[in-house]
Amino acid sequence: EHSSVLYCLCTIFLSLALPSLNLPPSLSQGTRDYNPKQMAIRERVFNTIIRCFKRHGAETIDTPVFELKETLTGKYGEDSKLIYDLKDQGGELLSLRYDLTVPFARYLAMNKITNIKRYHIAKVYRRDNPAMTRGRYREFYQCDFDIAGQYDPMIPDAECLKIVHEILSELELGDFRIKVNDRRILDGMFAVCGVPDDKFRTICSTVDKLDKMSWEDVKSEMVNEKGLSEEAADQIGQYVSMQGGMDLAERLLQDAKMSQSKQACAGLTDMKQLFSYLQLFQVTDKVVFDLSLARGLDYYTGVIYEAILTQNCPVNVSATQNGVDEKAEEGVSVGSVAGGGRYDGLVGMFDPKGRKVPCVGVSIGIERVFSIMEQKAEASARKVRTTETQVMVASAQKNLLNERLRLTAELWNAGIKTEVMYKKNPKLLSQLQHCEDSGIPLVAILGEQELKDGVVKLRTVHSREEVDVSRAELAEEIKKRTSDV
């Protein structure tokens, strides 16, 4: 009995003492902060991508980070288990968004929008096994561009591929290839090869593994795990090894077996059309019609595509270190940096009358792009600036704080990005050191003499050159000297 009283007292004591006993703070598993350097890189990447989206006339929207649970229900198949739910604190059942596509479809249906070209850059949430060294997080950015509307076939689809081409070229991530296929071609192929209707999706997801497993292993999974006949598997094997361009689409349209499937023919005819537009857009150099491309998501109904980097960059190596390439965000393999396709049925799932709005879109695998850019920045001799400060107002003498602040305000008011040290009497050396550290190119130095003469000593940090500039002309002179910043 004594011991239980003691235990009780201890518990009370501990619960009183603990709040003041700070443990080192930490983050939730699979999430991360972005420090200023990472933010500077992120901003550059976003600017490049947004510039491209705007060049193509896209608007942007934003949606809440959580949706009613029912909005997400039944949209992601097996992956639904990865959805973050909010605690029921009295009220609605809510979930964090899993991607940007379902909220987009919900937005279109809710606002009865039948035509829009929009981009959306925002974070999404998945309770996946984090693999943060490989750039896989539970909170990560998606960067989506979609075209909704009833249009003549393959024109918006071709624009999506043009956009992928532009973005990957401008980001200078190295050489890349864009694989293209069509769900209707896949389904038609499965039908003519003798795959039973109810096995289409599961065989499709086995085919999807061809970029990381040998054909023998894929065939074995089809036959031994999924119960497909060996004959059907072999027939599939012949098709999925095919790669080409418009010529391949034409050849398959003449193919004795393929041509028996209406679905396949519709897909192949559109594929031909797609390539003709891609020629006009001058991007066929990077695009391959690849019958092994399947993609994970259920909602695709037509053309699908995926862009992969073909150079062996360091991220690739670490991602494949166990010999098994893993799937990254958006059901996209780790080597892949963009993916998308046509989904004509999703909006209709949200409309009370089932009215469909055809959509096609692309998602840029932005976290992977960040990783690559960060590694490039690490490897480069050039320092990443985290501020854009043009000038630091400094002095070598004491008791000039007020004069420094006055000049600083003058420069702020003239639109110059200016810093000043928050010290009464900082040493000139520490002021110059701060400029070196943070890449500030100019220093405006004030002293008794300069104040008397109505000038400022303008020092160029890298050359240590100094020149007197009249105070009235200082802002203009700084603008001139930093016009490339």
Contacts to a second copy from residues 243-272, by CB under 8 A: none
Binding test (CB under 8 A) with a second copy, winner from 9, 86, 132, 467? 86
Please name the residue ranges forming H helices in 255-396.
262-280, 314-319, 366-379
Cα–Cα dist 93/103, whole Å? 16
DSSP 136: B
The reply to whether 38 sits in an annotated binding site is no
Q: Which of residues 371-400 bind a second copy (CB under 8 A)?
A: 386-389
Residues 6+ apart with CB under 8 A from 117: 56, 57, 58, 59, 145, 146, 147, 148, 156
**If binding is defined by CB under 8 A, does position 461 make contact with a second copy?**
no
Q: Which of residues 134-153 bind a second copy (CB under 8 A)?
A: 139, 147, 149, 151-152
Least CB distance to a second copy at residue 217 (A): 32
The reply to whether 295 sits in an annotated binding site is yes
The reply to whether 142 sits in an annotated binding site is yes
Cα–Cα dist 136/125, whole Å? 11
Q: Report the 3 state secondary structure along 348-386.
A: HHHCCCCCCCCEEEEEECHHHHHHHHHHHHHHCCCCCCC
Least CB distance to a second copy at residue 418 (A): 7
Least CB distance to a second copy at residue 320 (A): 28
**If binding is defined by CB under 8 A, does position 281 make contact with a second copy?**
yes
Partnered with residue 147 across adjacent β-strands are: 117, 360
> Counting beta carbons within 10 angstroms of the beta carbon of residue 358, is it exposed (0 to 12), middle (13 to 18) or buried (19 or more)?
buried
Q: Which of residues 395-414 bind a second copy (CB under 8 A)?
A: 401-402, 405-406, 409, 412-413
**If binding is defined by CB under 8 A, does position 15 make contact with a second copy?**
no
Least CB distance to a second copy at residue 400 (A): 12
Least CB distance to a second copy at residue 268 (A): 20
Binding test (CB under 8 A) with a second copy, winner from 107, 145, 305, 343? 107
Residues 6+ apart with CB under 8 A from 193: 232, 235, 236, 239, 257
Least CB distance to a second copy at residue 60 (A): 5
The reply to whether 79 sits in an annotated binding site is no
**If binding is defined by CB under 8 A, does position 156 make contact with a second copy?**
yes
- 364 backbone φψ class: left, alpha, beta (φ>0; ψ -120 to 50): beta
Q: Whose structure tokens read 């020092």?
A: 459
Pick from 231, 230, 268, 218: which is nearest to 248 by CA?
Answer: 268
Cα–Cα dist 240/224, whole Å? 19
**If binding is defined by CB under 8 A, does position 84 make contact with a second copy?**
yes
Q: Which of residues 23-82 bind a second copy (CB under 8 A)?
A: 23-29, 31-36, 39-40, 42-43, 54-68, 71, 74
Q: Which residue's CB is nearer to a second copy, number 89 or number 322? A: 89
Binding test (CB under 8 A) with a second copy, winner from 85, 172, 175, 476? 85
Nearest-10 Cα torsion for 358, 306, 42, 482: -100
Backbone angles phi, psi at 182, to 5 degrees: -145, 135
Least CB distance to a second copy at residue 271 (A): 17
The reply to whether 32 sits in an annotated binding site is no
Q: Which of residues 183-202 bind a second copy (CB under 8 A)?
A: none
The reply to whether 48 sits in an annotated binding site is no
Q: Which of residues 108-137 bind a second copy (CB under 8 A)?
A: 109-111, 116, 118, 123, 125, 127
Least CB distance to a second copy at residue 182 (A): 18
**If binding is defined by CB under 8 A, does position 3 make contact with a second copy?**
no
Q: Which residues are annotated as a binding site for L-histidine?
A: 99-101, 126, 142, 146, 295, 299-300
